Chains A and B, each alone.
Chain A
Amino acid sequence: MTDTLILTPQQIIRKKAAGEPIQPDDSEMIQSHTIVVLVENSIGAFIRVINMFSARGFNIDSVTVGVTEDPTVSRMNIVTTGNSRIISQVLRQLSRLVDTIEVIDLTDTDYVERELCLLKVCYNRDSRSEILDVNEIFRGKVVDITSRTMTFELRGPSKKIEAFIDMMASHKILEVARSGRVAMQRDS
């Protein structure tokens, strides 16, 4: 994308008035973005990033943080949604923070993403095998079992986790814990 495609509402209205075509990218097409933010490894840096999102009214769908191969650097993986204009604002505001070292929008690149999910579900004699079948299909792991509940561990892209939770929803889910997405660019 070039910056000429990032349109403000005012620009869209102008284009419409002039009868010019509006690209899907131009309009309010909302898309999920996976953004990696490398920050100084301090709690203040992390809070500033989160604070920027809330102070400026941007969404955070998930956020993870952890130290990197360099112990002075933390890596935040942020999943946010917005149209291209909002996302470009998010990226600019992130870059502008003093403690952010690098901001990378992975969305349009070739990257791998993983999420970890723990899910505790009730079972009985009737539902037991069906639940285990679902787990089998998703290649999850049973990490705990009692006479009443089973707890599964599932790893994979967020979409897979969501599909798994959807499939389990017909049973009685007691608890879901999701790690949030971590992502990394493939080596090209």
Chain B
Amino acid sequence: MTYDEHTKVHPVTTGDSLPEVRPEITSTSQVMSGAEILLRSLEAEGVKIMFGHPGGAVIKVYDEMHRINPEFQHILVRHEQGGTHAAEGYAKATGKVGTVLVTSGPGATNTVTGIADAYMDSVPIVVFTGQVPTGLIGNDAFQECDAVGITRSITKHSYLVRDIKDLARTVKEAYHIARTGRPGPVLVDLPKDVLLAEAPFQYPETVNMRGYAVPEAVRPEKLQRAARMIAESKRPLLYVGGGAVSSDASDSLTELARYTGIPVTTTLHGLGAFPEEDPLSLRMLGMHGTWWANQAVQHCDLIIAVGARFDDRVTGKLDSWAPHAKVIHIEIDQSCISKNVFADCAILGNVKTVLERLRPLLDPKDTTEWLQQIDVWRQECPLQYQKDDKLRAQGVIEKLRDKTGGDAVVITDVGQHQMWSAQYFRFLYSRTHITSGGLGTMGFGMPAAMGAAFGMREIGSSRPVVCISGDGGFVMNAQEMSVAAAHKLPIKLAVINNRFLGMVRQWQELFHMERYSHTDLSDTNPDFVKLAEAHHCVGLRANTPEEARQIIDEAWEVTDRPVLMEFSVAKEEMVFPMVPAGAATGEMITDRMTPNSFV
């Protein structure tokens, strides 16, 4: 097989084993409980905030927290799932690692959705779960569950700490693994006896994991090959994913695109990595991407994939995707390369580093003709919706865009409103669009927005945090509203109330003969204004475009707590254009004026 210097795959080996190297230990040691070692380790790691919920297995940690008052903030969430999404929102908004602490059993299982979400979207979080004492593990003890086992396939790595001596090193490694390479969630399971035991505390300065290597050096011959391919191409296209955001490559990408004149399309997670108001931006591609971005994919002769993984929501039917294109794939995770789409030139490495090293090898290209062709497609089928006196979700999103000028962190939930946000918000900056893409977790938005708001407060940013949710998903984690209220976070919560599980309704309308099985929420939706008020937030409601404008203005006046804005919108609205699941990207449904005319 291929020999790649970054991988551990070798066609030939000598039997030499590597000597075991243990990290060096710093500072003088002081005897303390495992619980305190955990807290001191987090301090040493530079953790500023933790989202948690106490219980029997971690009571000692909470006790020590009370006693020593560590240098970081603990936020008591009202559901552990909310805690994990908050940690994700924090991590995505700031680029730092999010931290979660929960108890054993149900505390641990409640984090599973958030961990899976972080795994799919490569979000760096560390989840500490309590565990029954080591002596009871396997006995079906009270609140025992095999947290490591349950989460094995949805974590980048996980640990069960059996010995207090390993605790500090494990914390160090967990943060290192979560943060580096392709980021992801790490779970650390902490048996109660380990937290109660006492040992000297020494936080290691370095990590030394012989099995864990992060690609560092970029192979120059690959860069030259890529540069050649770019020089030879007539219709190149940059296809940019979440990797460009997580490696903070936005500036390098923008410079490269503008210098060479290569147009840019982004995935859902790539939104914001390249300013969508730049003439080179084709906006989002894929299932609900723009007509012109998808046409560009189908006609380009070179795809430069930047931190993207050729997800099925992007490619649709693989064998007819980008039929004329050669592929350059810039990616940190070797397992993404040639997984779905063959890479003619794969460059393994940190996306930002690769782009910075590639740029000097490139010359400006004359892409005028190619851009003109794209403009034709742009005119052919613009993003549009019916503008009348009815309040429509797309209009709400445009109003939010107008209010903020694009300078806001927008968190969305999952459904139609998520796609409309992606289509109509026109993102300008990296890390200003946060959503659940890979797992598509309803209930992600509200707690993630809370985490992002804590993050913005921590880094001293005044960027407003706007959460756009559906009426279905919002209630799934609405409980965190009171937490956000208690911390006076001025989050703007927009609930797009179409009284339907809108996205499912759309599929039912399009593909299931309008059989709206169990998607009508009108009987079970709460009164959102009262819901907000019950959680110590401000609640506002709008039924018309004019009211919408008014309540947005009103909401921006509130600075000491979250404001929920309920927008009562038309239920029939659909997200267009659309490539039906499994269809070829060329086969887009674009009809939007007569949404009910085709079945």
Contacts and interface: CB of A to CB of B under 8 A. Distances in A.
Interface in A102-125: 102-105, 107-109
B121 to A, nearest CB: 17
Question: Which one of A11, A68, A96 has the greatest number of beta carbons of chain B within 10 Å?
Answer: A96
A70 B7 contact: no
A101 B210 contact: yes
Given A9-B319, A105-B9, A87 B1 contact: yes
Interface in B63-79: none
A47 interface: yes
B211 A6 contact: no
Contacts of A98: 156-157, 177, 209, 211-212
B344 A4 contact: yes
Nearest to A38: B17
B342 interface: yes
Interface in B1-16: 1-2, 4, 7-13, 15
Contact of B335 (A2, A17, A92, A102): A92
Contact of B17 (A48, A69, A92): A69
B338 interface: yes
A8 interface: yes
B92 to A, nearest CB: 22
Interface SS majority for chain B: loop
B323 interface: yes
Interface residues of B, number: 43
B341 interface: yes
B334 A92 contact: yes
A4 B11 CA distance: 17
A175 to B, nearest CB: 31
Contacts of B319: 9-10, 13-14
A64 interface: no
B1 to A, nearest CB: 5
Contacts of B318: 8-10
A48 B153 CA distance: 8
Residue of A2, A38, A107 with most partner-chain B CB within 10 A = A38
A123 B187 CA distance: 56
B10 A103 contact: yes
B70 to A, nearest CB: 27
B257 interface: no
Interface in A168-188: 184-185, 188
A6 B339 CA distance: 10
A93 B177 contact: no
A40 B12 contact: no
Given A8-B341, A39-B211, A104-B10, A1 B2 contact: yes
B340 A102 contact: no
Contacts of B17: 38, 68-70, 73
Contacts of B12: 104, 109, 185, 188
Interface string B353-368: 0000000000000000
Given A9-B318, A72-B20, A105-B11, A88 B2 contact: yes
Interface in B169-222: 177, 209-212
A101 B211 contact: yes
Contacts of B157: 98-99
A137 B2 CA distance: 40
A88 B10 contact: no
A102 B346 CA distance: 22
Contacts of B8: 94-95, 100-103
Contacts of B210: 101
Contact of B13 (A44, A69, A185): A185
Interface residues of A, number: 54
A57 B252 CA distance: 38
A91 interface: yes
Nearest to B12: A109
A101 B153 contact: no
Nearest to A11: B342
A8 B344 contact: no
B160 A10 contact: no
A55 B153 contact: yes
A67 to B, nearest CB: 11
A95 B153 contact: no
A97 interface: yes
B9 A92 contact: yes
Contacts of A103: 7-10
Contacts of A4: 344
A77 to B, nearest CB: 13
Contacts of B335: 89, 92-93, 96
B13 to A, nearest CB: 5
Nearest to B17: A70
B145 interface: no
Interface in A1-26: 1-4, 6-11, 13-14, 17
A95 B338 contact: no
B182 to A, nearest CB: 9
Contacts of B530: none
A156 B57 CA distance: 52
Given A10-B319, A70-B17, A92-B9, A48 B152 contact: yes
A3 B338 CA distance: 9
A19 to B, nearest CB: 14
Contacts of A107: 1
A63 to B, nearest CB: 17
A38 B13 CA distance: 11
Contact of B15 (A9, A39, A69): A69
Nearest to A111: B12
Contacts of A97: 211
B537 interface: no
B396 to A, nearest CB: 39
Interface string A55-96: 100000000000011101100000000001101110111111
Interface centre among A8, A87, A99, A188 (most CB of B within 10 A): A8
B303 interface: no
A13 B211 CA distance: 37
A96 B9 contact: no
B1 A51 contact: no
Contacts of A48: 152
Q: 3 tightest A-B contacts by CB?
A: A70-B17, A95-B8, A11-B342
15 contacts: A8-B341, A10-B319, A14-B319, A17-B323, A44-B160, A85-B338, A89-B335, A98-B209, A98-B211, A98-B212, A99-B211, A102-B8, A108-B1, A109-B12, A188-B12
